[in-house]
């Protein structure tokens, strides 16, 4: 049996106080370390390559700060929007939580302000091992497609090879740089050098095909005009090239006269 003297009891109380203080200090230190390790929840962003577009216009969408390798979903005014990755992969953020893809606005998109939204997940911190749903949006203004016309709409192959066609596009922003394309159902190429829209927003293209190319034959062709990286596209137009008319058969040529060996008589 041991008996604690007042001095000994005081010593024990001091020791207990020291141990308790050490435990509290350790707890605070651990809590402080955990707080220091916490990572702020990232705020996802979404950017469009152009703030102005037309129906069927092409946009590049860039999303950032989502959870690495997480699935993403895009909408246009809450309706599903198909986006194709630059790398040809599915709509999934890369290892850095970023994504870049292309989309064509539906032909039925009406002029006015529209919202494109991407929804995915974010990592809330380095401590909480779960992801949180998140979304980001960007606003675009849809404008009417520039009008287009082509002359002639139909012509023979020989005329087409000699004179080509002339297309006029009206309704671009004045001073906009406009690019042109020609295509068939299977191929597509640049149709000529870029042009700058005049003060009325009009540009003209004269296209004469090069003999031996995919666009120097009979058939139907499509001409396009676009600005802002394809975001603003003119109304599509087509023209047709037909076979030359068959040459008329030459008139028969009479053979040489046959001499008559007996006297010929004539009446009248």
User: What sign does the CA torsion over 144, 199, 229, 182 have?
Assistant: positive
Rg (alpha carbons) of the chain, rounded to whole number = 39
Q: How confident is the model at residue 214 (pLDDT cuts 50, 70, 90)?
A: very high
User: Cβ distance 191 to 223 under 8 Å?
Assistant: yes
Position 139 pLDDT exceeds 70? yes
pLDDT tens, residue by residue, 81-123: 999 887 666 789 999 999 999 999 999 999 999 999 999 998 7
Mean pLDDT of 3-23: 38
Position 267 pLDDT exceeds 60? no
235: how many CB neighbours lie within 10 A of its CB? 18
Joined together, the tokens standing for residue 236 give 């599509």
**180, burial (CB in 10 Å: exposed 0-12, middle 13-18, buried 19+):** buried
Q: Find, among 128, 167, 159, 176, the residue nearest to 242 by Cα.
A: 159
Query: Quick one: what percent of the chain has pLDDT higher than 90?
Result: 64
Cα→Cα distances 92→6, 62, 63, 119, Å: 72, 12, 10, 11
Domains for the chain: give ranges and CATH numbers. Answer: 45-142 (2.60.40.10), 147-242 (2.60.40.230)
Task: Please list the alpha-helical segments (H only) found in 141-245.
Answer: 157-163
SS3 131: coil
Kindly give, in sequence order, each residue whose CB lies less than 8 Å from that of residue 121, ignoring residues fewer than 6 positions away. Answer: 66, 67, 70, 71, 131, 132, 133, 134
DSSP string, 254-265: PPPPPPPSS---
Look at 64 and 265; give whichever has higher pLDDT: 64
pLDDT tens, residue by residue, 156-213: 999 999 999 999 999 999 999 999 999 998 899 999 999 999 999 999 999 999 999 9
Phi, psi values for residue 222, rounded to 5° = -120, 135
7: how many CB neighbours lie within 10 A of its CB? 7
Task: Please list the alpha-helical segments (H only) found in the chain.
Answer: 6-37, 157-163
Query: Quick one: what percent of the chain has pLDDT higher than 70?
Result: 73
How many whole angstroms separate alpha carbon 244 and alpha carbon 253? 26
Q: Average pLDDT over the chain, rounded to whole? A: 82
Look at 131 and 100; give whichever has higher pLDDT: 100
pLDDT tens, residue by residue, 252-266: 666 665 555 555 454
Q: How confident is the model at residue 39 (pLDDT cuts 50, 70, 90)?
A: low
97: how many CB neighbours lie within 10 A of its CB? 20
DSSP string, 206-235: EE-PPTTSTTSSSEEEEEEEEEGGGTEEPP
Q: Find, among 189, 242, 239, the residue nearest to 218 by Cα.
A: 242
How many whole angstroms separate alpha carbon 129 and alpha carbon 134? 16
pLDDT tens, residue by residue, 140-172: 999 999 999 999 999 999 999 999 999 999 999
User: Pseudo-torsion of CA 119, 121, 125, 129, nearest 10°?
Assistant: 160
């Amino acid at each position: 049996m041991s008996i604690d003297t007042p001095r000994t009891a005081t010593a024990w109380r001091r020791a207990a106080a020291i141990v308790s203080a050490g435990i509290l200090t350790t707890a605070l230190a651990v809590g402080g370390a955990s707080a220091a390790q916490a990572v702020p929840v990232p705020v996802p962003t979404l950017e469009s390559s152009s703030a102005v577009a037309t129906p069927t216009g092409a946009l590049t969408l860039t999303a950032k700060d989502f959870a690495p390798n997480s699935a993403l979903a895009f909408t246009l005014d809450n309706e599903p929007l198909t986006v194709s990755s630059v790398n040809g992969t599915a709509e999934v953020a890369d290892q850095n939580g970023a994504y870049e893809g292309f989309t064509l606005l539906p032909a039925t998109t009406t002029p006015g302000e529209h919202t494109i939204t991407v929804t995915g997940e974010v990592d809330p911190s380095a401590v909480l091992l779960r992801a949180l749903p998140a979304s980001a949006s960007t606003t675009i203004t849809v404008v009417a497609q520039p009008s287009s016309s082509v002359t002639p709409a139909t012509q023979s192959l020989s005329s087409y090879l000699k004179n080509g066609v002339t297309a006029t596009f009206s309704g671009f922003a004045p001073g906009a740089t406009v690019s042109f394309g020609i295509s068939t159902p299977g191929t597509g190429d640049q149709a000529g050098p870029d042009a700058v829209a005049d003060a009325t927003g009009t540009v003209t293209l004269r296209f004469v095909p090069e003999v031996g190319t995919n666009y120097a034959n009979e058939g139907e062709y499509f001409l396009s005009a676009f600005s802002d990286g394809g975001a603003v596209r003119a109304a599509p137009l087509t023209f047709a090239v037909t076979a030359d008319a068959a040459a008329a058969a030459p008139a028969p040529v009479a053979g040489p006269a046959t001499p008559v060996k007996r006297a010929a008589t004539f009446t009248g």
